[in-house]
Amino acid sequence: MLTISPLEKYAWFNFKGTFAVTHTSFDGLDLGGKNVELMTRGKYHVAGGLTSPDDHACVRLMYRTTIANKLTYGKLYALEGFLVGAKQHEMPFLLIDVDGKREVPNTFAFQETRIESLGLVEGCIDPEINPEPQRMLSVIVKHDGIDENDPHDGAMVVEYVIPRNLFSGRATEVFTAGRRVLFRGTLAGWNRDRDMVRVKVSGGTLDRGNGKTPHLKARD
């Protein structure tokens, strides 16, 4: 269910979920216990499958730690952190709290990766104009990007797929450009057609400050 409430004036994107490590983080020599910047690839589960055969559920996991504490190829970990880059890339960049990692058994492999985020609406695709399957609405939201390895990544955009039963009224009037929105949901892959991360929305909050107040509905 979407609600209406004043929202804070900055943007963020937090995640918590299970990731399979698909590449090694570091193949060099041990640096004597010193902390180093590491990055590896991982993959997460998308319930119901990806929207398109061209999409994928791969990510780059970024962190700073000792070599002895690095993520291990082939292992499954419960991780949390935040999205730091998702603009002009073929996969999102996630900064993780590696000290909080937990190795988990394969029975956890099919858990969804949950997110909570706050950002500014850039625009939306109204189902009356460009229909989506199962009457879903795509809203494009801008978040702050802090990828130090990419000076052009000062901001990033994410596609949020919202069931129409969460609100009523014209989408372009409810999700007006510049309106602050807080969404909760699950990661749903990288949309290659739009070149951005996709999120399936299960709930959230619209800022009271701008946009028309919709007639809200509880989920079926």
Tokens in use for 178? 């510049």
Q: What is the pLDDT of residues 5-42, one digit of tens each?
A: 999 888 889 999 999 999 977 655 556 678 888 999 99
Separation between Cα atoms, residue 159 and residue 174, nearest integer Å: 16
Separation between Cα atoms, residue 26 and residue 189, nearest integer Å: 26
Name the region of 135 (left: φ>0; alpha: ψ -120 to 50; beta: rest): left
Q: What are phi and psi of 119, to 5 degrees?
A: -160, -170
Q: Which residue from 67, 65, 28, 63 is spatially nearest to 42, judged by alpha carbons?
A: 63
Q: Which amino acid is at 175?
A: F
Q: Strand 2-5 relative to strand 196-207: parallel, antiparallel, unpaired?
A: parallel
Q: Which residue from 155, 94, 150 is spatially nearest to 120, judged by alpha carbons?
A: 155
Q: What is the pLDDT of residues 100-131, one digit of tens each?
A: 999 999 999 999 999 999 999 999 876 565 55
Q: Which residues pair with 83 in a beta bridge?
A: 94
What mean pLDDT is reported for the chain? 84
Is residue 180 helix, strand or coil? strand
* pTM score: 0.86
- Taken in order of first residue, the domains within the chain and their CATH numbers are 2-9+114-207 (2.40.50.140), 12-108 (2.40.50.140)
Q: Which residue from 84, 91, 88, 164 is spatially nearest to 124, judged by alpha carbons?
A: 164
Q: Which amino acid is at 116?
A: E
Q: What is the pLDDT of residues 69-98, one digit of tens each?
A: 899 999 999 999 999 887 566 789 999 999
Look-up of token digits 């919202």: 162
